[in-house]
Amino acid sequence: MTLRLHDTRAQELRDFVPLDAENVTMYVCGPTVQSGPHIGHVRAALSFDLLRRWLEEKHGRVTFVRNVTDIDDKVLANATATEPWWALAYRIEQEFTAAYSAVGILPPTYEPRATASVPQMQELVARLIERGHAYPAADESGDVYFDVRSWAEYGALTHQSVDAMEAAEDADPRGKRNPQDFALWKGAKPDEPADATWASPWGSGRPGWHIECSAMARRYLGSEFDIHGGGLDLRFPHHENELAQSTAAGDAFARYWMHNGLVTVNGQKMSKSLGNFTLAADVLAQHDPLVVRYALAAAHYRSSLDLSESSWSEAESALGRISTFVSRVRRSLPGAPDETSIGRVPAAFSAAMDDDLGVPQALAVLHETVRRGNAAIDDAAVDEAWAAFVEVDAMVRILGFDEIMGSGGDAAEHRTLDALVQTMIAQRAQARADKDWAAADRIRDAIAAAGITLEDTPAGTHWSIDG
């Protein structure tokens, strides 16, 4: 069955045909590291982790880019005299990494920080000015704006007309030609830190939010790539503006646009601005990370998810049923599974995942297989029980619940170690991307001193314990 995904721009399900069938390319908007992650951030990252895992199952390799917005109005606003903006950004970035790792979200192939790609952002702004789609502010503030009325396709992602859009509030409107024009470059302000500015042809300043992702996506994936993802709240203005500025600059950009639904509280979007958010750290302190992953994955990625105490208890019970079956098999069945069948998932599971990543339906297949396996054990049908076991094993690994296949303590210890090593691998990759070879070597040596071997492959870095 062909994988079909809901494309926000087309407003319909489309057959997924990647540019390269052996290397799917994905860009997902990562966090703006102004303050710690709430559970909605984790749900968003998990949605695309599940997609990535399924794409890897089907295509073998996925080049997955998730950025870090480490320079932004909100980052500057939350900095203090004792914690500069860059220190705040780094600390919060580590909080996001820890939350992602805790629930088994795979580290990205590349995780670029916005501050490391400013030259690429300036090059993109210059191209837009040259093509007549951007202009320096009339008030000589150093701001540069995208001219929305110069691009006839503006509004193509969210299917809005310019006249129906609200004014962009990301820069002083005095230098704009149109209220909806948005900032590509922001001139330096007297009340902002001097180290938060870069020299440019338009004066010292810093990039606007939208140009950051366009430049990083192009730098790491090229002028055209397969999937652009993010939360539903990013469709407008962020993704609309990304699409406009990239295509106006001459890039094909993303071929599929995907958006995950939001976590809600009493039917209202969970957000920091509304003050109704639940910090990921608090949730993870109260519930097992595997329970959190299951609860967040149990609803379809495009649906809203209203979390309650029953969400956690239902997830815990569901995982308990799978774990009990695995224990029964290992405790009571003779022999071993047929190795030729290992890794195969039921056709119904594949069909569910191919239908716009139907994880709820895939979970139903998983639990039906568990039920069938338990019945086979009760009937002493050894071959049938082992067949169910290997199917369960394959499904939980794709869904990221593979800890449940291990033996309690050993699996928990491995999960903790993996979270730590993956964090160090991500830091090493970023150091190498920044050409900070000394830092990259220090991280590599620290990992080696712990008896861990790293293997760099086209599909990412893998680790193993020496000996």
Half-sphere exposure (CA, 13 Å, Cβ side) for 66?
27
Q: What is the pLDDT of residues 166-222, one digit of tens each?
A: 899 887 788 899 999 999 999 999 999 999 999 999 999 999 999 999 999 999 999
Amino acid at 398: I
Position 466 scores a pLDDT of 56
Q: How far apart are CA 396 and CA 386, in angstroms?
A: 15
Position 454 scores a pLDDT of 78
Structure tokens at 380: 């002493």
- Collapsing DSSP to helix, strand or coil, 325 comes out as helix
Of the candidates 155, 156, 440, 103, the one whose C-alpha atom is nearest the C-alpha of residue 280 is 103
Structure tokens at 316: 């815990």
pLDDT exceeds cutoff 70 at 294: yes
Average pLDDT in the chain: 91
Question: CATH code at 326?
Answer: 1.20.120.640
CA dihedral 67, 73, 75, 80 (to 10 degrees): 160
Structure tokens at 420: 């730590």
Residue 352 lies in a domain: yes
Residue 266 binned pLDDT confidence (cut-offs 50, 70, 90): low
Position 462 scores a pLDDT of 59
Number of domains in the chain: 3
Q: Are residues 219 and 325 in the same domain?
A: no
Q: Are residues 164 and 186 in the same domain?
A: yes
Q: Are residues 440 and 358 in the same domain?
A: no
Domain hosting 374: range is: 308-406
Amino acid at 68: V
Structure tokens at 389: 């076991």
Position 467 scores a pLDDT of 43
Q: How far apart are CA 434 and CA 444, in angstroms?
A: 15
Crossing angle of helices 347-354 and 382-399, rounded to 10°: 20
Q: Are residues 424 and 323 in the same domain?
A: no
Q: Are residues 401 and 413 in the same domain?
A: no
User: Is the pLDDT higher at 461 or at 202?
Assistant: 202
Of the candidates 370, 277, 361, the one whose C-alpha atom is nearest the C-alpha of residue 328 is 370
Q: Are residues 63 and 90 in the same domain?
A: yes
Residue 7 lies in a domain: no
Residue 292 lies in a domain: no
Q: How far apart are CA 370 and CA 98, in angstroms?
A: 32
Mean pLDDT of 125-136: 98
* pTM assigned to the model: 0.84
- Collapsing DSSP to helix, strand or coil, 452 comes out as strand
**Across the strands, what pairs with 231?**
260
Question: CATH code at 222?
Answer: 3.40.50.620
Q: How far apart are CA 388 and CA 325, in angstroms?
A: 10
Position 276 scores a pLDDT of 65
Position 421 scores a pLDDT of 81
Structure tokens at 359: 């994880």
Q: Are residues 341 and 387 in the same domain?
A: yes
Q: Are residues 43 and 146 in the same domain?
A: yes
Q: How far apart are CA 376 and CA 317, in angstroms?
A: 21
Q: Are residues 175 and 250 in the same domain?
A: yes
Q: Are residues 87 and 142 in the same domain?
A: yes
Q: Are residues 392 and 414 in the same domain?
A: no
Place of tokens 């494309």: 7
The answer to whether the CB of 62 falls within 8 A of the CB of 55 is yes
Q: What is the pLDDT of residues 311-329, one digit of tens each?
A: 999 999 999 999 999 999 9
Structure tokens at 437: 């070879």
Q: What is the pLDDT of residues 351-381, one digit of tens each?
A: 999 999 999 999 999 999 999 999 999 999 9
DSSP string, 206-223: EE-HHHHHHHHHHHHH-S
Residue 8 binned pLDDT confidence (cut-offs 50, 70, 90): very high
Q: How far apart are CA 275 and CA 80, in angstroms?
A: 21
